[in-house]
């Protein structure tokens, strides 16, 4: 595995969203009903049994959160407690042990500190992306929960997830679903992403950034994008985002619902977003940790491209939401209580 380049040689302003093998990651093992102490390690290869349930039966879940460098050169995490909580929910759904939130946050801090030189400089737009991961390991062949588990957090510097960054790109709908009603859509489990690979690839080949999935039961309502939740701004300035049991409860979504209401003075709504009623929106976007806020130029549905604000310019409300959110994350704007954890 190629090791990460020297930090001084990295082009921080033009980072994409690619794996990088940094010097340190955190690793803990669960066995006989408990987690071991866990430690930082330089070994980026996981050594697991061929009978690991993560490989056969998808007993694997993960998280995504970021560390931000501020103007005065401090480093901070954005709402890591929310990721810790969501990972516990995902683990319960897959019959895996949970990692206590304080240990999750402490491990994230350790990984950031140990790889501090890879946290992009303030002003470059880059961040250090943290990827917590839990997998079922040990030898198993029947369909049941694994006897042992690995929890790891690794990291890499990243830039924009969708190519346009804060410039609009187009999205498309798909024949395929990513998650079933009453399935695992609410959980951040590997299987949801496995099932999104084919539709995602078809979308990319057709020139779209990502799929906007429709509700699996009726295919009439927007659920979410493959890697982010959806929002729209109505013509009367309401921030609207879909409510569904088969979408991932996004930390960014929860944060923007709060900021739209309390900082921008917008009305907010979590409810149905019908795909044949997109005319009600003057702006739309995808929101998530990796995506940040990615404006959606248009959505393709039944051979028709519905354009929102513009295919080339970001709408004014989307831009304000972006400024408020990223201002808080990079420490330029005061955060609501409890959102920022200094490393
Ligand atoms: N939806 C999906 C399918 C995702 O993969 C993500 C990314 O984590 C999100 C939504 C956004 O969630 P969050 O804002 O917590 O990163
Ligand atoms: C994130 O935003 O953290 C994600 O997990 C999205 C994607 C990279 C899977």
Region 285-302 average pLDDT: 96
Residue located nearest, by CA, to atom 3 of ligand 2: 64
List all residues 6 or more positions away from 162 whose beta carbon is below 8 Å from its beta carbon.
169, 209, 210, 286, 291, 294
Scanning 243-311, the segments in alpha helix (DSSP H) are 251-262
Q: Where are the domains of the chain?
A: 7-158, 169-330
Report the number of secondary-structure helices (H) and strands (E) in the chain.
7, 18
Which residues form the pocket of ligand 1, taking CB atoms under 6 Å from any ligand atom?
64, 224, 227-229, 248, 250-253, 288-289
Ligand nearest to the Cα of 225, by number: 1
Task: Tell me the ligand closest to 86's alpha carbon.
Answer: 1
Residue 232: is its pLDDT beyond 70?
A: yes
Residue pair 17/128 in contact by the 8 Å Cβ criterion: no
Here the ipTM equals: 0.98
Contacts of 96 (CB under 8 A, 6+ apart): 59, 61, 134, 136, 145, 146, 149
Mean pLDDT for the stretch of residues 150-174 = 91
> Among positive and negative, which fits the CA dihedral 257, 259, 261, 266?
negative
Nearest bound ligand to the CA of residue 161: 2
- Among 62, 177, 248, say which to mutate for ligand 1: greatest number of ligand atoms within 8 Å of CB: 248
pLDDT > 90: percent of the chain = 96
Phi, psi of 338 (to 5 degrees): 85, 5
CB-based pocket (< 6 A), ligand 2: 64, 227, 288-290
CA 142 to ligand 2 centroid distance, Å: 30
Question: What is the rounded CA–CA span in Å between residue 168 and residue 171?
Answer: 10
At 187-225, the pLDDT tens digits run 999 999 999 999 999 999 999 999 999 999 999 999 999
Is pLDDT at 1 greater than 60 in this prediction?
no
| pLDDT above 80 (res 309) | yes
Is 188 an active-site residue? yes
- Ligand 2 atom nearest to CA at 290: 2
Whole-angstrom Cα Rg for the chain: 20
For the CA of 289, the nearest atom of ligand 1: 16
Q: State which ligand 2 atom lies nearest to the alpha carbon of 289.
A: 2
**DSSP label of 269:** E
Going from the Cα of 219 to the center of ligand 2, the distance in angstroms, rounded, reads 24
Report the relative pairing of strands 267-271 and 222-225 from DSSP bridges: unpaired
3-class secondary-structure state, position 57? coil
**Ligand 1 pocket mutation pick from 65, 190, 252 by most atoms within 8 angstroms of CB:** 252
pLDDT band at 160 (very low <50, low <70, confident <90, very high): confident
Which of 222, 204, 227 shows the shortest CA–CA distance to 288?
Answer: 227
CATH of domain 169-330: 3.20.10.10
Structure tokens given for 18: 């690619």
What average pLDDT is seen over the chain?
96
Catalytic entry in 31, 163, 188, 253: 188
Which atom of ligand 2 lies at the shortest distance from residue 131's CA? 3
Whether 327 has a pLDDT exceeding 90, the answer reads yes
The CATH code that applies to domain 7-158 is 3.30.470.10
3-state DSSP assignment of residue 39: strand
pLDDT range class, residue 3, cuts 50, 70, 90: confident
Q: Which SS3 state, helix, strand or coil, does residue 227 take?
A: coil
Q: Which residues contact 186 (CB under 8 A, 6 or more apart)?
A: 89, 93, 245, 246, 247, 248, 249
The C-alpha atoms of residue 123 and residue 330 are separated, in whole angstroms, by: 9
| Count of CB atoms situated within 10 Å of the CB of 284 | 27
Structure tokens at 259: 């900021």
- At residue 278, what are phi and psi to the nearest 5 degrees? -75, -15
pLDDT at 162 (0 to 100): 82
Which ligand 1 atom sits closest to the C-alpha of 254? 14
Q: 251 CA distance to ligand 1 centroid (A)?
A: 7
Please report the pLDDT score of residue 164 as a whole number.
65
> CB-based burial of residue 281 (10 Å sphere; 0-12 exposed, 13-18 middle, 19+ buried)?
buried
pLDDT of residue 166: 85
Pocket test for ligand 1, best of 192, 288, 321 (most atoms within 8 A of CB): 288
Cα gap 80→66, rounded to integer Å: 9
3-state secondary structure 102-160: HHHHHHHHHHHHHCHHHCCCCCCCCEEEEEEEEEEECCCCCCCCCCEEEEEEEEEEECC
Q: What is the number of the ligand closest to the CA of 256?
A: 1
CA distance 144 to 128: 35
Q: Considering only CA atoms, which residue is closest to atom 1 of ligand 1?
A: 228
**Would you state the structure tokens that stand for residue 152, as one six-digit string?**
């790891």
Ligand 2 pocket test target in 61, 80, 161 with most atoms within 8 Å of CB: 161
Q: How far is the CA of 97 from the centre of ligand 2 (A)?
A: 22
């Amino acid at each position: 595995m190629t090791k990460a380049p020297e930090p001084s040689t990295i082009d921080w302003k033009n980072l994409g969203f690619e794996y990088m093998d940094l010097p340190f990651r955190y690793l803990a093992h669960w066995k006989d009903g408990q987690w071991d102490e866990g430690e930082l390690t330089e070994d980026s290869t996981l050594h697991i049994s061929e009978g690991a349930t993560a490989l056969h039966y998808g007993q694997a879940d993960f998280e995504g959160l970021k560390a931000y460098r501020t103007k005065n050169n401090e480093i901070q995490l954005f709402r890591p407690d929310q990721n810790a909580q969501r990972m516990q929910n995902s683990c319960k759904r897959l019959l895996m042990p949970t990692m206590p939130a304080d240990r999750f946050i402490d491990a994230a801090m350790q990984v950031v500190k140990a790889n501090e030189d890879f946290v992009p400089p303030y002003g470059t737009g880059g961040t250090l992306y943290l990827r917590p991961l839990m997998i079922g390991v040990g030898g198993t062949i029947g369909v049941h929960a694994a006897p042992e588990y690995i929890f790891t957090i690794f990291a890499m510097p990243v830039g924009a997830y969708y190519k346009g960054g804060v410039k609009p790109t187009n999205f498309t709908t798909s024949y395929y679903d990513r998650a079933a009603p009453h399935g695992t859509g609410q959980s951040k489990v590997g299987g949801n992403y496995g099932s999104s690979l084919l539709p995602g690839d078809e979308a990319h080949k057709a020139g779209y950034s990502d799929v906007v999935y429709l509700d699996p039961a009726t295919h009439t309502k927007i659920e979410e994008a493959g890697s982010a939740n959806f929002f729209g701004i109505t013509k009367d300035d309401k921030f609207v985002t879909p409510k569904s049991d088969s979408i991932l409860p996004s930390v960014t979504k929860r944060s923007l619902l709060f900021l739209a209401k309390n900082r921008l003075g917008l009305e907010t709504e979590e409810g149905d977003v019908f795909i044949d009623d997109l005319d009600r929106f003057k702006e739309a976007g995808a929101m998530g940790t990796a995506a940040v806020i990615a404006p959606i130029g248009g959505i393709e549905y039944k051979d028709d491209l519905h354009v929102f604000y513009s295919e080339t310019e970001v709408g004014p409300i989307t831009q304000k939401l972006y400024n408020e959110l990223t201002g808080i994350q990079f420490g330029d704007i005061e955060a609501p209580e409890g959102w920022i954890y200094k490393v």
